[in-house]
């Protein structure tokens, strides 16, 4: 059964304490190993973390995926065997952590968000992906088991492209590239949703305002999780770390440009959703003005009619018109003439 741990549970503990913070999304932690170079390829599931350790001495590229972070002993063993700082393990266990990158002497650590958008509920599904890159080793930590890197594994298995001939830095770039490319899909879905809301506003649907507010929160949350990725990639391009070969830097620079493109789209759609809200408010205001105009015209027409009805509704004894044989019908006719005359006047003034 899934559980959720809050940051308050870590209050008072020493820095580097191995406490999982977030929502448990899998019942049991799962491990996969992919080991390859230009000539060999191996992929298998693991039963325990100790099966990973022998690959440390190999010269091939090893990619380890760990799904599920709630079993903290696995991360503790990884930290101890590969000499990973306890604060880095702590960041991996905190699934609410802001995307960032840290470059050390022996490894590079980064954390990023994989984002899905559900247009039916107008909600983002966010999964934290943490990556540790060593000389010939990649650890990828995910909250749940999924197929977000399925195509990448197929490319490696089928030896397509340059990835089998490249190092761990290129694999690191490729993993991030898949995550950033998915941002474009999220942004396109939001664009389609904005168009739907515009159509609903033009159709005069009154319940649209809740959907607009929900989508506005989605866009703000999306920007909050993508903006640090730009800073992260920018810091790598400014750094002169030996982990990233000169041949990989152009790809990272291209990935940086993609991130800027996504952010520009997010900013555009944030302005668009604000415009949709203003359009909705304007439509509601115009509708209210039309209602008030009709009510005002009706009230204006009945003011003189009520005046005459009030006069002849008084109970004074000496009112000559009360003795006339055709007084009642004459008053009704006079009131009808006033009514029609006012309608004609309003029509001529284009108030109706």
Residue 12: pLDDT band by 50, 70, 90 thresholds?
very low
Identify the CA nearest to 19 among candidates 30, 31, 29, 5: 5
Cβ contacts of 211 within 8 Å, gap of 6 or more: 122, 197, 200
Query: Quick one: pLDDT at residue 1?
Result: 43
d(CA 347, CA 352): 5
What fold characterizes domain 289-348? Answer: Methane Monooxygenase Hydroxylase; Chain G, domain 1 (1.20.58)
Residue 9: pLDDT band by 50, 70, 90 thresholds?
low
Q: Is the pLDDT reported for residue 14 higher than 60?
A: no
Summarize pLDDT for 273-328 with one digit per residue, the tens. Answer: 888 888 878 877 878 887 888 888 888 888 888 887 777 777 666 677 767 777 77
| Assigned token pair, 198 | 């515009």
Identify the CA nearest to 229 among candidates 278, 282, 192, 184: 184
Query: Quick one: pLDDT at residue 317?
Result: 67
Decide which of 144 and 317 is more confident.
144
Q: Is the pLDDT reported for residue 57 higher than 50?
A: yes
Q: Is the pLDDT reported for residue 332 higher than 70?
A: yes
**Count of CB atoms situated within 10 Å of the CB of 7:** 11
- Report, as an integer, the average pLDDT of 116-125: 87
Strand (E) positions, 10-72?
Answer: 22-23, 30-36, 41-46, 61-67
Q: Is the pLDDT reported for residue 128 higher than 80?
A: yes
Summarize pLDDT for 167-224 with one digit per residue, the tens. Answer: 899 999 999 999 999 999 999 999 999 998 888 888 777 677 888 888 999 999 999 9
d(CA 291, CA 334): 28
- Report, as an integer, the average pLDDT of 247-261: 94
Pairing state between β 137-142 and 61-67: parallel
- Report, as an integer, the average pLDDT of 34-39: 90
Query: Quick one: pLDDT at residue 108?
Result: 93
Position of tokens 């044989």? 325
Q: Which CATH class is domain 4-283?
A: alpha beta
Decide which of 121 and 248 is more confident.
248
Q: Lowest-confidence range among 181-195, 261-275, 328-342?
A: 328-342
How are the residues of the chain apportioned to helix, strand and coil, as percentages rounded to the nearest 5?
55, 15, 30
Q: Is the pLDDT reported for residue 52 higher than 80?
A: yes
**How far from each other are the two terminal CA atoms of the chain, in whole angstroms?**
65
Q: How many CA atoms lie within 13 A of 204 on its CB side?
A: 4
pTM (2 d.p.): 0.79
Residue 66: pLDDT band by 50, 70, 90 thresholds?
very high
Domain extents in the chain: 4-283, 289-348
Query: Quick one: pLDDT at residue 318?
Result: 67
| Assigned token pair, 228 | 């640090």
- Report, as an integer, the average pLDDT of 152-166: 86
Summarize pLDDT for 81-102 with one digit per residue, the tens. Answer: 999 999 999 999 988 888 999 9
Query: Quick one: pLDDT at residue 173?
Result: 94
Residue 126 burial (CB < 10 Å; 0-12/13-18/19+)?
middle
Query: Quick one: pLDDT at residue 8?
Result: 47
Query: Quick one: pLDDT at residue 16?
Result: 55
């Amino acid at each position: 059964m899934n559980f959720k741990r809050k940051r308050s549970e870590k209050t008072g503990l020493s820095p580097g304490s191995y406490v999982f913070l977030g929502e448990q999304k899998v019942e049991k932690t799962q491990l996969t190993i992919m080991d390859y170079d230009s000539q060999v390829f191996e992929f298998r599931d693991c039963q325990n973390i100790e099966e990973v350790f022998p690959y440390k001495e190999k010269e091939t590229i090893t990619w380890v995926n760990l799904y599920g972070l709630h079993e903290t002993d696995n991360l503790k063993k990884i930290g101890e065997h590969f000499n990973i700082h306890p604060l880095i393990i702590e960041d991996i266990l905190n699934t609410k952590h802001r995307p960032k990158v840290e470059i050390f002497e022996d490894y590079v650590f980064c954390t990023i968000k994989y984002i899905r958008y559900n247009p039916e509920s107008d909600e983002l599904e966010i999964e934290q992906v943490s990556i540790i890159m060593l000389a010939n080793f990649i650890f990828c930590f995910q909250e749940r088991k999924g197929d977000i890197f399925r195509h990448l594994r197929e490319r490696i298995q089928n030896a397509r492209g340059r990835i089998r001939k490249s190092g761990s830095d290129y694999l690191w770039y490729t993993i991030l590239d898949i995550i950033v490319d998915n941002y474009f899909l999220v942004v396109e879905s939001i664009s389609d949703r904005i168009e739907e809301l515009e159509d609903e506003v033009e159709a005069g649907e009154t319940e649209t305002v809740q959907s607009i507010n929900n989508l506005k929160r989605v866009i703000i949350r999306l920007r909050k999780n993508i903006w640090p990725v730009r800073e992260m990639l920018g810091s790598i391009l400014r750094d002169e770390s030996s982990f990233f070969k000169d041949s990989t830097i152009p790809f990272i620079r291209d990935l940086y440009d993609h991130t800027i493109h996504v952010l520009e789209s997010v900013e555009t759609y944030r302005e668009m959703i604000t415009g949709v809200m203003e359009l909705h408010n304007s439509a509601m205001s115009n509708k209210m003005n039309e209602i008030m105009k009709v009510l005002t015209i009706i009230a204006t027409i009945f003011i003189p009619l009520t005046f005459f009805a009030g006069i002849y509704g008084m109970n004074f004894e000496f009112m000559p018109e009360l003795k006339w044989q055709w007084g009642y019908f004459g008053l009704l006719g006079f009131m009808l003439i006033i009514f029609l005359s006012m309608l004609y006047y309003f029509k001529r003034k284009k108030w109706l």
